[in-house]
Amino acid sequence: MAESVRTLEMKNISIEFPGVKALSNVNFSMRSGEIRAVVGANGAGKSTLMKVLAGANETYTGDILIDSKPCEIRNPRSAKDLGIELVYQEVDTALFPYLSVAENIMFNNIVTGMKGRALIHWKGINKAAREILDRLHMDIDVTRKMSSLSLAQKQMVLIARAVRERCRFLILDEPTAPLSLGEVAELFRITKELASRENVGIIFISHRLPELFEICQSLTVMKDGQVVANKSVDGSLTTQEIVNLMLGRSFEENFPKRKVAIGETLVEAEHLADEEGKVRDVSFTVRSGEIVGVCGLVGAGKTELCKLLFGAGGMRSGSLRCRGKSIKVRNPTQAVRQKIALVPEERRKEGVLVSEPVYFNLSAACLDKFTNRFSFVQRRKELENAKKLVADLGVKTPSVFQRVRYLSGGNQQKVAVGKWLASDSDFYMLDEPTKGVDVGAKRDIFQLIQKLAADGKAVLYASSEINEILAITDRVYVMYNGRFAAELVTEKTSEEEILYYAAGGKK
Ligand SMILES: Nc1ncnc2c1ncn2[C@@H]1O[C@H](COP(=O)(O)OP(=O)(O)OP(=O)(O)O)[C@@H](O)[C@H]1O
Ligand SMILES: [Mg+2]
């Protein structure tokens, strides 16, 4: 049953952080039942604007009106009372891993319900949680521990928690970044249903522009803390036009592949298997100057393979050779000593130290380059290295002294990538390095990877984005269910062929 239309308006919203004018005079408006995309380059201000709505940026100036009525949103509680819910970019931080699904969904009710009441009605909580999941046609057992769920399921739980009460505006900040194609379809189904059946207004942030055409009716483009365009998404709008507006210049989204002489075999793995059965009998080679792709759907085992090679997973069997010499990698420290680098998938957990400054993160993987780092000269070298990387990757930060936690999601990712690119390794593994980065930054990252290859390094590029694999690799292994299902030469293959093997197709 659709309720009467509600409107949401933000007028002249500005916010300043030390050294950063994150939003300046932003106007934003939408109505319930609408699905509106918010796009923009990394650091454009998307998350900051949405945090204002959700009561997490209480120092904003400007006006917020709901149904033309002015309201102050200075804390999360008042946002919730107005029916505004935000599902954050980093799903894990918002959940309680050791509680059940039901407890996570009903968390706020448990806490408020406990005041003055000694008894928690567990059966009631499970039932209420199940009703919400049923309403959204989500098939998840409410008694399961949160930590046992996949990322996609965790996100579903967050959405369920958000719409538990009378949610009128739901903000999804890059919800699809960690999801597989099937999971994206499921998320879109739920999103559309919430909009059309329950009249929820949905704000959808994403760097995967093509998907916006599938579910959004309208689009707001942000650049450097301002709104630069509002568009309706119809047949006449193109991805190219959006990109141009985002970056403020015309931009060709093609990545010219540099031809690099491919040398001798640098890395050789034979019959690798891990203890959990996520990697099963994997053998491959990477030559010097070569960029080898590992392509597979989310969950195929790419991340586990990279971790195994980096000494961060339990090795059951198999052997690894580097430059013809047999090596043992029992932990990441040994991996680094063997000149193996890994840009991990989960950046906040494993890729960066969020409470340390940018420069520290960028030199953490190559401290030996700056040994005796407390002397003035060495420190200067360290800072120079950091400044160069910040420029090469276009990291948006007021200075290299900024703590990483204050960077936008995509800029944190750039630091996670940059940190390893600066290390002096022989074998580089990158696990979904472009997740959450904008198109411009993606090209910068690609250029740095190609430079590594040109310098004779061996690169393993793990991704579920077939277009990236086709753009940057020389050769590709398609992974399915823990095994390499096919080995293909990039120039001679196609999206269809890769997808065929990635989906379990046989030769
Ligand atoms: N708490 C904070 N302290 C200092 N600077 C901040 C803070 N929060 C955000 N910023 C800065 O504000 C700007 C906008 O960041 P925001 O996170 O909104 O970008 P975004 O558009 O969401 O980017 P992304 O696509 O990378 O997620 C960035 O320059 C960021 O570094
Ligand atoms: Mg963001």
Q: What is the pLDDT of residues 456-481, one digit of tens each?
A: 999 999 998 888 999 999 999 999 99
| Pocket of ligand 1 contains residue 46 by CB under 6 Å | yes
Q: Is the torsion defined by CA of 299, 431, 92, 145 positive or negative?
A: positive
Q: Which of 82-91, 223-232, 322-331 has the lowest mean pLDDT?
A: 82-91
State whether 496 and 451 are in the same domain.
Answer: yes
State whether 76 and 173 are in the same domain.
Answer: yes
State whether 413 and 446 are in the same domain.
Answer: no
Q: In which band, very low, low, confident or very high, does the pLDDT at 371 lie, cut at 50, 70 and 90? A: low
**Which ligand ends up closest to the CA of 39?**
1
Separation of 226 CA from ligand 1 center, angstroms?
Answer: 13
Separation of 130 CA from ligand 1 center, angstroms?
Answer: 36
Q: Among the three residues 211, 231, 251, which one is the final residue of a domain in this structure?
A: 251
369: CB partners within 8 A, 6+ apart? 363, 381, 385, 422, 424
Q: Which of 103-107, 152-156, 206-210, 427-431 has the highest mean pLDDT?
A: 427-431
Separation of 404 CA from ligand 1 center, angstroms?
Answer: 10
- Residues 375-425 pLDDT 10s: 555 778 888 889 999 998 889 999 999 999 999 988 998 898 888 887 889
Residue nearest to atom 27 of ligand 1 (CA): 409
**Which ligand ends up closest to the CA of 41?**
1
Q: Among the three residues 229, 251, 273, which one is the final residue of a domain in this structure?
A: 251
State whether 311 and 459 are in the same domain.
Answer: yes
Separation of 409 CA from ligand 2 center, angstroms?
Answer: 5
Separation of 437 CA from ligand 2 center, angstroms?
Answer: 10
CATH of the domain at 212: 3.40.50.300
| Pocket of ligand 1 contains residue 394 by CB under 6 Å | no
Q: In which band, very low, low, confident or very high, does the pLDDT at 274 lie, cut at 50, 70 and 90? A: very high
Between the alpha carbon of residue 159 and those of residues 152, 178, 443, the distances in Å are 11, 15, 32
Question: Is 283 or 99 the better-scoring residue by pLDDT?
Answer: 283
| Pocket of ligand 1 contains residue 441 by CB under 6 Å | no
Percent of the chain with pLDDT over 90: 52
State whether 328 and 404 are in the same domain.
Answer: no
Q: Which of 44-48, 102-106, 241-245 has the highest mean pLDDT?
A: 44-48
Pocket test for ligand 1, best of 13, 20, 51 (most atoms within 8 A of CB): 20
Q: Among the three residues 424, 458, 482, which one is the final residue of a domain in this structure?
A: 424
Distance CA 157, CA 95 (A): 9
State whether 35 and 52 are in the same domain.
Answer: yes
In a domain, 89, yes or no: no
In a domain, 367, yes or no: yes
| Pocket of ligand 1 contains residue 40 by CB under 6 Å | yes
State whether 2 and 79 are in the same domain.
Answer: yes
State whether 432 and 468 are in the same domain.
Answer: yes
**Owner of token pair 């120079």:** 384
Q: What is the identity of the amino acid at 332?
A: P
Q: In which band, very low, low, confident or very high, does the pLDDT at 134 lie, cut at 50, 70 and 90? A: confident
In a domain, 344, yes or no: no
The pLDDT value given to residue 491:
93
In a domain, 90, yes or no: no
Asked if the model's pLDDT at residue 117 lies above 70, the reply is no
State whether 256 and 335 are in the same domain.
Answer: yes
| Pocket of ligand 1 contains residue 176 by CB under 6 Å | no
Residue nearest to atom 29 of ligand 1 (CA): 43
Q: What is the identity of the amino acid at 303?
A: T
Separation of 51 CA from ligand 2 center, angstroms?
Answer: 10
| Mean pLDDT to the nearest integer, 6-30 | 95
Separation of 44 CA from ligand 2 center, angstroms?
Answer: 8
In the DSSP assignment, the letter for residue 257 is P
Distance CA 252, CA 246 (A): 13
State whether 273 and 204 are in the same domain.
Answer: no
Write down the mean pLDDT value for the chain. Answer: 88
Asked if the model's pLDDT at residue 200 lies above 90, the reply is yes
Distance CA 31, CA 66 (A): 9
State whether 75 and 200 are in the same domain.
Answer: yes
Mutual angle of helices 181-198 and 151-163, in 10-degree steps: 10
The pLDDT value given to residue 1:
41
| Mean pLDDT to the nearest integer, 316-344 | 91
In a domain, 91, yes or no: no
| Pocket of ligand 1 contains residue 22 by CB under 6 Å | yes
Residue nearest to atom 8 of ligand 1 (CA): 406
Separation of 17 CA from ligand 2 center, angstroms?
Answer: 15
**Which ligand ends up closest to the CA of 173?**
2
The pLDDT value given to residue 407:
92
| Mean pLDDT to the nearest integer, 322-336 | 91
| Pocket of ligand 1 contains residue 411 by CB under 6 Å | yes
Q: Taking the mean position of all CA atoms in its chain, how far away is CA 354?
A: 15
The pLDDT value given to residue 164:
77
Q: Which of 62, 8, 225 is nearest to 72 (CA)?
A: 62
State whether 434 and 487 are in the same domain.
Answer: yes
| Mean pLDDT to the nearest integer, 238-245 | 90
- Residues 20-76 pLDDT 10s: 899 999 999 999 999 999 999 999 999 999 999 999 999 999 999 999 999 999 999
* CA-45 nearest atom, ligand 1: 18
Which tokens is 174 given? 């890059």
Separation of 351 CA from ligand 2 center, angstroms?
Answer: 17
Total domains in the fold of the chain: 4
Mutual angle of helices 122-135 and 151-163, in 10-degree steps: 100
Residue nearest to atom 18 of ligand 1 (CA): 45
In a domain, 31, yes or no: yes
The pLDDT value given to residue 456:
93
Domain that holds residue 326: 252-339+425-507
Q: In which band, very low, low, confident or very high, does the pLDDT at 2 lie, cut at 50, 70 and 90? A: very low
| Pocket of ligand 1 contains residue 354 by CB under 6 Å | no
In a domain, 391, yes or no: yes
**Which ligand ends up closest to the CA of 436?**
1
Separation of 88 CA from ligand 1 center, angstroms?
Answer: 13
In a domain, 465, yes or no: yes
The pLDDT value given to residue 377:
53
